[in-house]
A and B are shown apart, each in its own frame.
Chain A
Amino acid sequence: MKISKKIIDNLKKGGVDFYLSVPCKLLANMIDILENDKDVYYSAVPREEEGMGICAGAYLGNKFPCIMMQNTGIGNSVNAIVSLLQLYQMPVVFLISYRGTPGEPVGAQGGMAKITEDILQTLRIPMLHCSSEKELDKISTFSKHAKVVESPVAILCDFNLMKDDK
């Protein structure tokens, strides 16, 4: 719970006040925290691409949105990211559980893991790659950066960082 609490605390410190998730077991603790947090909006959504649309609307209504998802969700969302969030320059934080990184028991997750950072680079999305607890301290500044540059940003949290967060 310590890691998940630190991530949410840092996102809130960065001004994020509207959260969506397409669940992942590595995000489960964060979802628990958000479901009990009365200060921010939280909902699950069925699909990441749809979540990008809801985040766009939340930004228009002056919220600072975050969508939590597996890295596979980036694959589901490329056009929405480019033709909506980037076209209209909308700041949204992607909080990504980086499935398929070392420690991952499911071999099939390796395919998207191999190309996740390439996709984000191709999309010119600033990335913060968190592989240890210390790096989580950068999340609040990194989130604020999304607003300054009016762009989506991606925070990648490695499998091994999240897996023992009991």
Chain B
Amino acid sequence: MNRFDLLNKVQNILKDNLVICNIGLPSQELYKISDQPNFFYMLGSMGLSSSIGLGLALSQNKHVISIDGDGSVLMNMNTLATIGNRAPSNYTLLIIDNGSYGSTGDQRTFTDEKTSLKDVALGAGCKNVIECSGEETINALNKAIDDKDNSYVIISKINSGNVKIDPIPLNPITIRDRFRKFIGKVKYL
């Protein structure tokens, strides 16, 4: 299973939640599978999906899923400490760990060598950390969303590989405003 297969599998869960989706191929693939106003596609700032989702979860009550990658988490690893200490129960970080920098040509990341993001997350103070296969990710996500007392970090171990895809045609303000409208914060659209 690669990232596109996994996003296909979990799309129905994503549709019912606020989603912050990582820059590059993850956002492009999700857009192709099913575009929704409650999906915030990152067009820049690699590494910050987990942080944007955390700020959003701290600011309103709907459940937030940050879709991140192993390469991106490695770039902003302090985020796991902040999540371990501050994440509210309406927050789930889904790390799609394919051991490669998919958007830049599938170069190997350190999770394909010695680094375990599960161990890093646990050491950073995250209490509920699930490392699972692509197939098990639906159950892990449902568990995280159903638990009203705890936040979760899910590390979904899948294969690398991408599908041929186009850039997202939406402009950033459209992405921003329809997302805020969905939450009920924009009245003028």
Please report A residues at the B interface, Cβ cutoff 8 Å: 18, 41, 43, 45-47, 49-63, 65, 79-80, 82-84, 87-90
Contact = CB atoms under 8 A, between A and B. Distances in A.
B55 A89 contact: no
B172 interface: yes
Q: Which 3 A-B pairs have the closest CB atoms?
A: A57-B55, A83-B44, A61-B59
B55 A46 contact: no
Contacts of B57: 57, 61
A contact patch SS: helix
A25 B86 CA distance: 23
B contact patch SS: helix
10 contacts: A43-B82, A45-B82, A49-B76, A50-B48, A52-B51, A53-B48, A53-B55, A60-B176, A61-B183, A80-B45
A56 B175 CA distance: 13
B172 A87 contact: yes
A103 to B, nearest CB: 31
A88 B175 contact: yes
Contact of A61 (B49, B60, B78, B79): B60
Contacts, number: 115
Interface of B: 20, 40, 42-45, 47-60, 64, 76, 78-79, 81-82, 86, 172-173, 175-176, 179-180, 183, 185
Nearest to B59: A61
A50 B59 contact: no
A65 B55 contact: yes
B24 to A, nearest CB: 12
A56 B185 contact: no
B55 A54 contact: yes
A57 B175 contact: no
A151 to B, nearest CB: 13
A144 B40 CA distance: 25
A69 B43 CA distance: 26
A79 B56 CA distance: 20
B55 A58 contact: yes
